[in-house]
Amino acid sequence: MSTARTTTVGIIGAGPAGLLLSHLLHRQGIDSVVLELRDRAYVERRQRAGILEQDTVDVLRASGAGARMDRQGLEHHGIELRFDRRSHRIDFPSLTGGRSVMVYAQTEVVKDLVELRLKDGGTVLFEAEALSVDGADTDRPTIRYRHEGAEETLECAYVVACDGFHGIGRRSLPEDLLTVVERTYPFSWLGILADVPPSCDELIYAHHERGFALHSMRSPQVSRLYLQVDPDDSVDNWSDERIWDELDTRFAVDGDWTLRRGPITEKSITPMRSFVAEPLRHGRLFLAGDAAHIVPPTGAKGLNLAIADVTLLAQALTRHHTQGDEAAIDAYSETALRRIWRAEHFSYTMTTLLHADPAESGFDRELRLSHLRYLAGSEAASASLAENYVGFRTN
């Protein structure tokens, strides 16, 4: 038997975007219900990006969700570029007016937000499968979902789909309204987690003729590293010893630096793609996060774009709730897309700049090296990279 409940904002997806939106709305006196397909344990251990832009850090702090981040997160003031066996540091504060980034895993952001929502009495329904969004172009759209074996209906004033690339949110927009553009890259990332202290104080982005490598971290005790591999490669082809040897080769520089090795606890291969669907609104249904856009992880933008989307949307919904003004709601898609496309371009640039394309010519390789040398030698070029990395503020 179907049962019904009502709320002001129905949110599909309890990732960082959906949870933060619910939290921001709660602080403004706007009620919401969050529906999440997976159980809480799965959501809180789902591994994703771990670099927070300055604006993301500021939003979490201002909303009261940043206390543990400030205790345990690792503030970074730059990144290191490696190529030609040399190292070049990009200093963020000096190039961006004092801005920086924070290393704090998405799993930890989600844990913090789940705890806050439940502590505040928020409604987060785990293992609630959204089945359809109906009446998006009416004043009271509904979400039909299945929870605890029963089919139920959530009646809303607004619906926000934060349910990722494979969710029902984007598919609920009329096909003749939606424009989708995408790019698939001819390589993937082999990512590992290792129980070993990082070999660096800041992230290392390495370009090598054998392929790209990235040295990141999850904590002072856990390293996160990546290798460029073929799209059809398998983790079965990569023993621990082979991974460490290849990382050693790609990170090699002239000078005194050693890559620390340790037990590898996780391996996975991630395809690289860019994707944007627009508009981000149909009637009272809105798209946010991976439901609307995907970036290759090279630029560390995916989580930050999702946070920017829902921050903008929370402001627009609050303005309508408190002032009856729908101007910001009407402008949401256009405003968000300006930032999305800036991030897409930066992510594309970082990806094509740092990876070795197996099909490219010698001319293309020399252009890439020329660009890298320009970044390392020009303050203006370094400032552009830094500005985009810490989060470019569009108008």
In this prediction, residues 328-351 reach a mean pLDDT of: 97
pLDDT digits (tens, 9 = 90+) for 209-259: 999 999 999 889 999 999 999 999 999 999 999 999 999 999 999 989 999
Domain that holds residue 336: 3-51+104-181+273-350
In this prediction, residues 353-368 reach a mean pLDDT of: 91
pLDDT at residue number 332: 98
Exposure of 10 by Cβ count < 10 A (0-12 exposed, 13-18 middle, 19+ buried)?
buried
- Which residues belong to the active site? 76, 205, 297, 301, 389
Whether 368 shows a pLDDT value over 80: the answer reads yes
pLDDT at residue number 87: 96
Q: Is the residue at 313 inside a domain?
A: yes
Of all residues in the chain, the percent with pLDDT exceeding 70 is 98
Indicate which CATH number applies to the domain containing 7.
Answer: 3.50.50.60
Q: Is the residue at 356 inside a domain?
A: no
pTM reported for the whole predicted model: 0.95
Please say whether the dihedral angle defined by the alpha carbons of residues 184, 190, 194 and 198, taken in this order, is positive or negative.
negative
pLDDT at residue number 392: 85
Whether 394 shows a pLDDT value over 90: the answer reads no
pLDDT digits (tens, 9 = 90+) for 284-299: 999 999 999 999 999 9
Q: Is the residue at 311 inside a domain?
A: yes
pLDDT digits (tens, 9 = 90+) for 168-211: 999 999 999 999 999 999 999 999 999 999 999 999 999 999 99
In this prediction, residues 13-32 reach a mean pLDDT of: 97
Whether 4 shows a pLDDT value over 90: the answer reads no
Whether 58 shows a pLDDT value over 90: the answer reads yes
Whether 281 shows a pLDDT value over 90: the answer reads yes
pLDDT digits (tens, 9 = 90+) for 62-106: 999 999 999 999 999 999 999 999 999 999 999 999 999 999 999
Whether 310 shows a pLDDT value over 70: the answer reads yes
- The mean predicted confidence, pLDDT, of the chain is 95
Alpha carbons 247 and 304: distance in angstroms, whole number: 27
pLDDT band at 2 (very low <50, low <70, confident <90, very high): low
Of all residues in the chain, the percent with pLDDT exceeding 90 is 94
Q: Is the residue at 309 inside a domain?
A: yes
pLDDT digits (tens, 9 = 90+) for 128-150: 999 999 999 999 999 999 999 99
Alpha carbons 308 and 79: distance in angstroms, whole number: 22
pLDDT at residue number 337: 97
Q: Is the residue at 372 inside a domain?
A: no
Domains: count for the chain: 1
Q: Is the residue at 364 inside a domain?
A: no
pLDDT at residue number 45: 86
Q: Is the residue at 259 inside a domain?
A: no
Q: Is the residue at 111 inside a domain?
A: yes
pLDDT at residue number 395: 57
Whether 1 shows a pLDDT value over 50: the answer reads no
